[in-house]
Chain A
Amino acid sequence: MKRFALRAVSMTLSALVTLALLAAAPSSSSAIVVSDAYSRPANDMGAVFLAIINNGRSDDALDAARSDVADATEVHETYQVAGGDAMRHIPALAIPAGRTVTLKSGGYHIMLIGLRRELRVGDKFTIGLHFAHAGWVDVPVVVKSF
């Protein structure tokens, strides 16, 4: 009986610890941590830049994104061509085990297509990123200039 009670307390404690950890790090799952997410002012198309850290032992991939602020949310890449810069849609972005992949201007970004509201400096919103293994991760984003 006593043992059962102890076990129950221990399980409750571990659940509380897990909850506390989740609350402290809202942008992390078991292996994927997302940090430094920001966007620029925009009123039609926007982009979110951030860093994705894979602390796990297995490779993962960012394969979908969602947000309440836009009609569609996709992973895109800006790349250089003769004479300028072009952009393409990336169906899945590899996040290798133990690596950090930085989405930054001139490279990868999360594209917000058909913004439902203006994004002004100081605004905050949330996007969801889906990883093939880690599942959905919610990420807070701040709109900034420089």
Chain B
Amino acid sequence: MIASIFAAAAAISALINNAAPDFSLTDQSGHAFSLSDQRGHVTVLYFGYTHCPDICPTTLAAIASALRQIGPNADRDIKVAFITDDPARDTQKTLRDYVTLFDPHFVGLDGSSAALAPIYKGYHVWFTRLPNQGSAAGYLLAHSSYIYMIDKTGVVRTIDDWHTPPATIAAHLRKLYQ
């Protein structure tokens, strides 16, 4: 298990200082969202699912807090996109209702399984459905939880894990934002 954790971390680290894999998905308002259209903006990607009670909301709250620390316009200048790991349950409406709880400018991205599969692969996103152990929650996912920070030219510069405190996230984003 330790070896595979290191292997997964090594694959993710290899993205740093390389062009972020481009993609095109649909945002919570039904508009196309392409990574290549975000040039000129710092972009933050996070993969998760709206039924996630712990790590996804903690991470999104941390990113929102980091943006508030950076400045009043940071959440407009820095594009934060939440990409679903659970397209079977997450709809445009659930994504909109969910991501905007954390920041009104956050974007929730959805797409067909065929559109999402190469994105998961490109960003080394891992997840699996967990068997239901008598919980009322329905199925839950085990999933990787990284915050991908992409600079204004479309290059991945920093990848933080979800334990990263807001002040550190803010420090990493400031370097790309200024």
Q: Assess the A84–B144 pair: CB atoms within 8 A.
A: yes
Partner of B136, one of A105, A114, A118: A114
CA distance A114 to B135 in the complex (A): 12
Instruction: From B53, B140, B142, name the one whose CB has the most chain A CB atoms within 10 angstroms.
Output: B53
Which of these binds chain B: A2-10, A39-47, A93-101? A39-47
Q: Assess the B55–A78 pair: CB atoms within 8 A.
A: yes
CA distance A115 to B36 in the complex (A): 37
Which residues on the A side are within 8 Å of B140 (C-beta)? 86-87
Which of these binds chain A: B27-35, B94-102, B112-120? B94-102
CA distance A118 to B64 in the complex (A): 18
Which residues on the B side are within 8 Å of A106 (C-beta)? 54-55, 58, 162-163
Interface residue tally for chain A (C-beta within 8 Å): 35
CA distance A146 to B57 in the complex (A): 11
Which of these binds chain B: A12-20, A24-32, A54-62, A68-76? A68-76
| Interface flags, B42-74, vs A, CB<8A=1, else 0 | 000000001111110110011011000000000
CA distance A88 to B143 in the complex (A): 13
Interchain Cβ contacts under 8 Å between A and B, 20 examples: A40-B61, A41-B102, A42-B53, A42-B101, A43-B50, A43-B94, A43-B97, A43-B98, A47-B54, A47-B57, A74-B136, A76-B53, A84-B144, A86-B130, A105-B54, A106-B58, A109-B53, A111-B53, A111-B54, A119-B101
Query: Which 4 pairs, one residue from A and one from B, show the smallest C-beta to C-beta distance?
Result: A86-B142, A72-B136, A41-B101, A146-B65
- Other A-B contacts than A44-B51, A45-B50, A83-B8, 15 sampled, CB-CB below 8 A, are A41-B101, A44-B94, A72-B137, A76-B53, A78-B55, A85-B142, A85-B162, A87-B140, A105-B58, A106-B58, A106-B162, A111-B137, A112-B53, A145-B64, A146-B65
